[in-house]
Amino acid sequence: MVATLQKLQPPRAMRWVTRWRWITAGLLIVAFGTGFYFKHWALRYVLAPIVLGFCYWAYTVARHRGRIVGEGAEGEAMVAKVLDGMTMDARVLHSVQFESGERARELDHLLITNNVMFVIETKYLRGRIAGEVLDREWTLHKRARKTRSRYKRGFYNPLKQVATQIYHLRSHLEKNLPPRWAQECSQIWIQGVVVFAHPQGDASAVVNHEHGVVDLANLPQYLANYRPPSRAHRLSYGLRREIARVLTGQ
């Protein structure tokens, strides 16, 4: 069975949602305070409505970001459930956060096996996804919830996103592991995996097992059957233990 070393946690982006909610509450208090305490008509009937307008804008931002983060967290929870239930000798960490390249980094899931380490990026997108491996952006085709009109939007190629995550993860580990384990870590294989998890999403045009793009239904089979290049070194028990220690602080 997969050993779950770190449970799923709220995504880092939720902090910004919380901040926007506090901003909304603060502006609401200022607006009512302005209308109640100030007697001058200009302050009461001009300034207070302006503050209320900013308050409503902050509320819409918080609601929009909260919906996006909530949907992403739902997708990550679905993938976490699949990973936790797999019958293979591996360790899994969810919501891995670390500092690299002078900024915070976050991995949705990290699966550590005897042969390879998987960096798993979850995408929870409703609609049809199109794109090529080398494209800078992929395209999401979908219908609006209310009007049912068709539209499309681009999003950054998740294969490039996960490749950047792998680069910074390896750099972070080699910097923070003891010299013996850092040298061994430089020789292991880290495979990026992009999982499309939305039940109403159609990723058939971009699913590519050779490059690590899968849907949720085929994720366990892909991970169980994956074989790294022959030049890759196995992960010793000590290295797996040290990686988990560096990333979890335990």
- CA R_g for the chain: 23
pLDDT at 212: 94
Query: What string of pLDDT tens digits covers the 250 residues of the chain?
Result: 677 767 767 666 666 667 767 888 887 887 777 666 666 656 666 777 777 788 878 778 777 666 666 666 788 889 999 999 988 889 999 999 898 877 889 999 999 999 999 999 999 998 999 999 999 999 999 877 666 678 888 999 999 999 999 999 999 999 999 999 999 999 999 999 999 999 988 999 999 999 999 999 999 999 999 999 988 899 999 999 999 999 987 6
* Residue 124 CB neighbour total at 10 angstroms: 22
